[in-house]
Structures are given as structure tokens and as C-alpha cells.
Amino acid sequence: MTTPEEPRRIVQRGLWFEEFETGVVYEHRPGRTITEADNVLFTTLTMNTQALHLDAAFSDALPPFNKRLVNSMFTLSTLVGLSVAQLTQGTLVANLGFSEIAFPKPLFHGDTIYAETVVTEKRESKSRPGEGIVALAHTARNQHGEVVATAGRKTLVRKAPA
């Protein structure tokens, strides 16, 4: 009796340490359109009672934006989250830290965020065989191409299995 050959399977994952290339721009797609519900839920879950995120009447009367702003911590979380499937899904050991976080322009309800990452450096771990440290520079842009967030991030990433 013959059986049909089982098809080869590929499971989506992030990059192993060896696969990261310094100086390369990794574009993360699709983007993410931010809704009012996203902003209010994140803001209330994190106990951030800032009226600029929650109170439309207050924000509408307050220059220079005259409308509610998306919580910048949600913007940062979304920026990093957009990179996961392409870069670190299943290969990340840990985030080691964030640096130089900036929000040059605000996001508003209905804006779409797109992310890209540049690998700025990488090295093998001296204390953890089978792992390496990868430094990432994340950038988020809105639908107009304007930079709305940047962040440096150091990660501990697994090497490819032998």
C-alpha cells in the first residue's frame, strides 16, 4: 500500500540570531489602524487617567490638537508588536531594554501606524551559549509617512538549532 507523500510544512517564526542583518530595513506589514476603542481600552487597562486620552470635551477645547490623542504607550506597544511576526516570533528569549524613545508627532483615532526596524548591531552572548544580543531601531510612521514614534531596543535572541 502506498501513501501520498506528506507535504513539507513551514511554521512562521522570527529570525534566528544568525539571520539578522545589520543595516537592513525590515518593513513590517500590514499596518494597524488605531480605533477609539483601542485607545480607551489600553488607557483604562493601564490605569492612565490622562484626560487627553479619555475626555473628548476636555481635549476638544485644548490647543494645539483640539482632539483626543492616542496614548503614547499604546503607540510604542503597537510599534514593537508590529515587528514580532517578522523578527522575533518564537526566537526571542527576552527584551533587555529600551532606549531613546521619542514621539515626534501624535497619533489620533483613525490613524494607521506602519513600522520598520533597522538592526543596528548584533553580537554573540558571552554568558549564554546558543544566544545573541541584537540591537534594533524601531520607527513608526502614520498613513502620511510622518514619523510618530522611534525606539531603540536590545533583545536576546536564540541561535538556530544545530
For residue 151, the domain's CATH number is 3.10.129.10
**Inside any domain, residue 139:** yes
Q: What is the C-alpha separation between 137 and 150, in angstroms, rounded?
A: 7
**pLDDT tens, 65-100?**
999 999 999 999 999 999 999 999 999 999 999 999
Over range 97-121, report the average pLDDT.
Answer: 98
Interhelix angle 36-45/72-87, rounded to 10 degrees, is: 100
**Inside any domain, residue 12:** no
Domain count, the chain: 1
Q: What is the C-alpha separation between 122 and 124, in angstroms, rounded?
A: 7
Q: What is the C-alpha separation between 107 and 9, in angstroms, rounded?
A: 39
Tell me what pLDDT residue 10 has: 82
**Inside any domain, residue 15:** no
**Inside any domain, residue 4:** no
**Inside any domain, residue 94:** yes
Percent of the chain topping pLDDT 90: 93
**Inside any domain, residue 53:** yes
**Inside any domain, residue 9:** no
Residue 1: pLDDT band with limits 50, 70, 90: low
**Inside any domain, residue 5:** no
Q: Are 84 and 91 in contact (CB under 8 A)?
A: no
**Which domain range does residue 81 map to?**
24-158
